[in-house]
Amino acid sequence: MSDIFRTRLAKEFDDRVARYHTSTVEDLRMFEEDIDGTMAHDIMLHEQGILEQEDLALILGALQEIKEEWKAGKLTIGAEYEDIHPFIEARVIEKIGIEVGGKLHAGRSRNDQVMVDMKMVSKKELLAIAENVLALIKTLGELADKHTETPMVAYTHGQQAQITTYGHYLCAYIDQYMRDYKRIKQCYDRVNYNPLGSAAIAGTNFRINRLRTAELLGFDNIQTNSMDAVSSRDWAIEINSVLSILMANMSRMAADMVMWAGAEFQYIRLSDEYSSSSSIMPQKINPSTLELIRGKTAEVYGGLQEALTMVKGLPTGYYQDLQQTKITLWRVFDTTRTSVEVLNGAIATLTVNEDKMLEQTKGSFIYAVQLAEVLAEETLSFREAYKVTAGVVNNLVADGRTMEELTAEDVQKVAKELFDKDIKVSSSIADKVSNPIKALNNLRSPGSPHPAETAMAVENRMELRERYWKEFDFLKIKLVIAADNLKNAIARYTA
């Protein structure tokens, strides 16, 4: 019996329409959550005096059997079902009859049912991604700690800008991923409201206890307004948003790494397990895994766009349009979760070539800011010092010399020419400003690549990560406790 509610309709769905209309394929991902949701709802109905204990026991028994059949791979659900909800209800009715099985759905609708299912799946997925993000942060912290004194060129406009370190670069991403974690956690907190018991849109006559189903299903509270609960999808849009931002951060990092793996840089070498080769060019070692992180970011952005478009102009209430939300949401979860995992693995296993990073700093003018700042400490204003330094750089470039070869006279000459000033310049000026380690140690601003500053940042972020981990673990424990509560209640009522 596939149909339990086409009672007003004389004919079955046209075959093509049925296939077009069904959401059973994407619903499979929430099969167990759907059963748990029904069990919690019916336990609550019994506790509220709406469902007899014997009836509840029969319903719970049938649902447990169906769950086992599902886990054993014994169930196939075709397009003759609109979605998994009537499939499960029909199967219960098949097992225990409509007189008892027909009581299972009292006081709810598929509209709140699908919301609670989706939210339960989403919560697990958000936690899995949060866990991966915290693992990625740890990997980055360990690597950054080793490279607080690894000089590297920092770029603006694709041009060599200032001296930095590889550790400082990694810390920049640690901070971004910390914010990503926090966004996921805050998003989780907003998803964590129970929509079940809202019924189709405007509640039910049954005196239900929505807090009780919230408790049994691991929600912090109820999503109070029944219209809000079935109609809104801002929570799904928010998930798509926070995951899009996470992907954006990873995509950008992947772009750096793809570039740095190239022969022009050779800063890093991905491990073989993360590299591919070419079918024609025998020399190739391609960082294609990271290119895919970039590529798959587009897919996640697509999910956000789709979710936003889904609700634009959609009148308030439940509309079938909303059924489509799942398809992209599941894909966004899978793509994001695996992308974080892969990026973490790629970083944990890569080889860093510090010599190449250092080599790139040689003969570069990345110390120009620091030269100007040293000059501005004495008699010149910053703008005068800037102009003197620019003149010095011009002269060095014209002579084919580098900043490492800079002399005090080079500087004094330009200061005299431009401002008619005789300035004092240390004879060790070249070493003072263009020795990478000294230049790094001269940086005094908070958040700069000064090695001690970076070391402190790593330590501080790793401590914060520990706190985030505990917070995350607590969320996981709360779900385990809820699952336990549900299990115990089922055991009590089926005994």
What's the closest the beta carbon of residue 113 comes to ligand ARG, in angstroms?
7
Contact 171, 194 (CB under 8 A): no
Task: Say whether 105 is catalytic.
Answer: no
Task: Say whether 448 is catalytic.
Answer: no
What's the closest the beta carbon of residue 325 comes to ligand ARG, in angstroms?
7
- Residues between 357 and 416 that touch ligand ARG (CB under 6 A): none
Q: Is 83 in the site for ligand ARG (CB under 6 A)?
A: yes
Nearer to ligand ARG, 34 or 131 (CB): 34
Q: What is the rounded distance in angstroms from the CA atom of residue 374 to the CA atom of residue 368?
A: 10
Q: Is 111 in the site for ligand ARG (CB under 6 A)?
A: yes
Nearer to ligand ARG, 105 or 294 (CB): 105
Nearer to ligand ARG, 310 or 433 (CB): 310
Nearer to ligand ARG, 117 or 131 (CB): 117
What's the closest the beta carbon of residue 326 comes to ligand ARG, in angstroms?
6
Binding region for ligand ARG (CB under 6 A) out of 41-49, 108-116, 260-268, 421-429: 108-116
Q: Is 165 in the site for ligand ARG (CB under 6 A)?
A: no
Q: What is the rounded distance in angstroms from the CA atom of residue 82 to the CA atom of residue 157?
A: 54
Q: The tokens of 298 are what?
A: 């587009």
What's the closest the beta carbon of residue 333 comes to ligand ARG, in angstroms?
16
For residue 160, the cross-strand partners are: 155
Closest to 164 (Cα-Cα) out of 411, 465, 448: 448
Q: Is 323 in the site for ligand ARG (CB under 6 A)?
A: yes
Q: What is the rounded distance in angstroms from the CA atom of residue 476 to the CA atom of residue 127?
A: 7
What's the closest the beta carbon of residue 63 comes to ligand ARG, in angstroms?
19
DSSP string, 468-483: HHHHHHHHHHHHHHHH
Q: What is the rounded distance in angstroms from the CA atom of residue 331 to the CA atom of residue 270?
A: 27
What's the closest the beta carbon of residue 185 comes to ligand ARG, in angstroms?
27
Q: What is the rounded distance in angstroms from the CA atom of residue 218 to the CA atom of residue 452?
A: 44
Q: Which of 23, 176, 335, 389 binds ligand ARG (CB under 6 A)?
A: 23
What type of residue is 464? L
Q: Which of 79, 114, 133, 163 binds ligand ARG (CB under 6 A)?
A: 114
Q: Are strands 193-194 and 221-222 parallel, antiparallel or unpaired?
A: parallel
Count of residues of this chain found to bind ligand ARG when the rule CB under 6 A is applied: 8
Closest to 423 (Cα-Cα) out of 378, 467, 361, 457: 378
Q: Is 31 in the site for ligand ARG (CB under 6 A)?
A: no
Q: What is the rounded distance in angstroms from the CA atom of residue 237 to the CA atom of residue 308?
A: 6
Contact 432, 155 (CB under 8 A): no
Chain centroid to Cα 368, Å, comes to 38
Nearer to ligand ARG, 109 or 194 (CB): 109
Q: Which of 318, 330, 367, 472 binds ligand ARG (CB under 6 A)?
A: 318
Question: Pick the catalytic residue: 277, 278, 427, 428?
Answer: 278
Residues 6+ apart with CB under 8 A from 114: 83, 85, 323
Nearer to ligand ARG, 201 or 483 (CB): 201
Nearer to ligand ARG, 199 or 380 (CB): 199
Closest to 113 (Cα-Cα) out of 27, 174, 173, 182: 27
Question: Pick the catalytic residue: 2, 21, 109, 157?
Answer: 157
Interface residue list for ligand ARG (CB under 6 A): 23, 83, 110-111, 114, 318, 322-323
Query: Catalytic residue positions?
Result: 157, 278
